[in-house]
Amino acid sequence: MRIAVGSDHAGYRLKQHLAARLAEAGEDVLDLGAKSEESCDYPDYGRAVGAAVASGQADWGLVICGTGLGISMAANRLPGVRAARCTSEYDARFARAHNDANVLALGSRVSGVGLAEAIVETFRSTAFEGGRHQRRVAKIDAPAAADGGAPAPGSER
């Protein structure tokens, strides 16, 4: 598998560590930056990883900033990207199994190294279950309707 990784300055050290662990596990890692702990902007790296996943250049992505929030929002701006900010193995398991998440977002100031490793391993080893979840993922990926796509109360849409 090819995994695109990216972080801002706050996530740089954790990204470096996790990228090395993924490479040791035999994964092909595409490092899209940052290249140091010098201050930089997380949207640049969230979008770069999201674009790599959306285009098929990478099978899935890993993005890291201080909280995991901003960088996941940036990645999610690209069609076809389903970035999930995970703070536990439980989050990672269901992000993959039920939501077919294809980008994992972590917060370097939220999760320690050991927990981050466990979250990545859970994300990487969990398959999408499909079935009833496929219909919901299709709705996530569908373009938003002019009315916001919200179903009328009580409807089955």
| Active site amino acids | 65, 98
CA distances to 66, 83, 113, 124, 130 from 59, rounded to whole Å, are: 24, 13, 23, 11, 17
Look at residues 116, 65, 60, 107 and name the one whose alpha carbon lies nearest to residue 83. Answer: 60
Which residues on neighbouring strands pair with residue 7, listed in sequence order?
A: 64
**What is the DSSP annotation of 19-53?**
HHHHHHTT-EEEE----SSS---HHHHHHHHHHHH
Rounded to an integer, what distance in angstroms lies between the CA atom of residue 51 and that of residue 97? 22
Copy the structure tokens of residue 53.
Answer: 């996943």
CB 52 within 8 A of CB 58: yes
Residues 6+ apart with CB under 8 A from 120: 18, 21, 22, 62, 92, 104, 106
